Amino acid sequence: MSEKAMMNDQELEKVSGGDSRVVNTGDSRPAAIRSTPSLNATVLGTLNNGTVVNTTGNFTRADGRNWAEINYPMWGWIKGSILGYEW
């Protein structure tokens, strides 16, 4: 799957592990999904508030923020606080 592509039904069937979370940026802005856990990383796309995502279980801290890797509905990194993670 291309990093920038949304998952199709066949790819979705292969998603497992991690944790389902709901995107909540705290305002009307969508959440940026990045290629690596960094504010300087390429934005692969955005997800609106209310979108359900699946985390992979990979978490890290970079740029003074906590990041979570997601693999549904697209692959990339999102700020953990947007998914309600508090480390």
Here the CATH number for the domain that contains residue 68 is 2.30.30.40
Tell me, yes or no, whether 2 lies in a domain: no
Tell me, yes or no, whether 3 lies in a domain: no
Domain hosting 75: range is 9-83
Tell me, yes or no, whether 1 lies in a domain: no
For tokens 């508090």, the residue is 86
pLDDT in tens, 11-54: 555 555 688 999 999 999 999 999 999 999 999 999 999 999 99
In this structure, how many other beta carbons lie within 10 angstroms of the beta carbon of residue 45? 17
Is 80:59 a contact under the CB 8 Å cutoff?
Answer: yes
Separation of alpha carbons 59 and 74, rounded Å: 16
Tell me, yes or no, whether 43 lies in a domain: yes
Residue 45: its pLDDT value, please?
98
User: Domain tally for the chain?
Assistant: 1
* Average pLDDT across the chain, whole number: 87
Joined tokens for residue 39: 């504010």
Tell me, yes or no, whether 16 lies in a domain: yes
pTM for this prediction: 0.81
